[in-house]
Amino acid sequence: MARPRKSYTLWIAGALLRVLVGCVILAIVLLLLWRVFLSGRLPKSMKSIAPNESLAAAYAEKCEALVLFDQVQGTVTRNEESYGYFGVPRFVFIPDAKQLQLVFRYNNSTLKAVARDLELAEALPRGEELFDVSLVLRRDLTPDDLTDNTDDSATISRERYHPTLTAVDTTALYTYFLYTFEGVELTDDTIVGYIDIYYGLTPDYGESPMADLRLYHRDDPRRELQLTGKEEKALAAFGK
């Protein structure tokens, strides 16, 4: 007996279903690739050093000999109650200008998490300064005695620096802030430098921060950086 021929309508439906499933799979793959490789890329406004008066003066004096460096440190906060909420994907110490520039960012999901954690009545807006970011340098007051360098030791000083907001930018997933800290001196007695992050712009520094992130330790190697041609031109032209 001859086998019945498959309905042409069913064949068309099956082909369309296969195409639809293939498109869904392709869309998921492309979304994952975008999320992994492209979504975290810095926007153009966050990729370069921002020219300012003290930095331009240091460049005019040192030119290509201007020292810039960073260190290999963690790029996201790892505090137990705010793990992964905040990040610093880029930072640069410029000793000749006594300056630190850093890019501070957080994900859209961080805004939802903070609102939930603090039981806020309204959702937090994107693109606005919501968090206080300050730099803390801890210095050894008795550098000849390394045995007394404990967290609560009176022989360690703490200096807090507040930044100038240089730029703000947003992407599909992140909010970015470019901060400039002035008067930052990393002396031989500087043990460690880190940022404290508080919710709100007038925090009580006697309270524990929401998160912190280390940027510098005197025992870690410095990674020298170079100005780009664009940055050199911007510094040379600053104020003229």
Of 170 and 13, the structure prediction assigns the larger pLDDT to: 170
- Identify which of 86, 74, 190 has the alpha carbon closest to the alpha carbon of residue 132: 86
Residue 22 reports pLDDT greater than 80 = no
> What confidence tens digit (pLDDT) does each residue in 103-121 have?
999 999 999 999 999 999 9
Which pLDDT belongs to residue 23?
Answer: 73
Which pLDDT belongs to residue 154?
Answer: 78
Amino acid (one-letter) located at 48:
S
> What confidence tens digit (pLDDT) does each residue in 41-68 have?
899 999 999 999 999 999 999 998 999 9
pLDDT band, very low/low/confident/very high, at 16 (cuts 50, 70, 90): confident
Q: How far apart are CA 32 and CA 37, in angstroms?
A: 8
Residue 40 reports pLDDT greater than 90 = no
> What confidence tens digit (pLDDT) does each residue in 174-214 have?
999 999 999 999 999 999 999 999 999 999 999 999 999 99
Of 150 and 67, the structure prediction assigns the larger pLDDT to: 67
How far is CA 220 from its chain centroid? 19
Q: Pull the structure tokens for residue 100.
A: 């630190």
Q: How far apart are CA 165 and CA 70, in angstroms?
A: 20
Q: How far apart are CA 92 and CA 193, in angstroms?
A: 13
- Identify which of 135, 94, 121, 110 has the alpha carbon closest to the alpha carbon of residue 226: 94
Q: Pull the structure tokens for residue 68.
A: 């810039």
Residue 152 reports pLDDT greater than 80 = no
CB 113 within 8 A of CB 130: no
